[in-house]
A = this chain, B = another copy of it.
């Protein structure tokens, strides 16, 4: 099993969610985060004092998938999320030792 994590531009969430559903992914967890890569942030001004704010709002999507599906799911996310401009984000895959469905106690592939 694999955990696929994606950091994306917030307005792309809807497209990515649709793409994942089309790809057969049943669920996901999303959180609102702040990040930057090479994209610099922006400036805010308060009574003439300028502050450089480096962080930019992003969303993090996490889905746990079968090893066999990981590459396909990554491609679906990248395809839906890409705009071609700085700040599009990253997707990565990490191995998962075990997964449990809390309601039933099912483990492993049945829990996905």
Contacts and interface: CB of A to CB of B under 8 A. Distances in A.
Contact of A30 (B33, B88, B91, B100): B33
Given A74-B98, A101-B88, A103-B88, A31 B33 contact: yes
Interface in A64-94: 64, 70-71, 74, 77-78, 81-94
A91 B89 CA distance: 23
Nearest to A38: B26
Contact of A78 (B1, B87, B100): B100
Interface residues on A, range: 35 or more
A95 interface: yes
A29 B91 CA distance: 12
A97 B88 contact: no
Interface of A: 1-3, 6-8, 17, 26-39, 54-55, 58, 60, 64, 70-71, 74, 77-78, 81-103, 105, 111
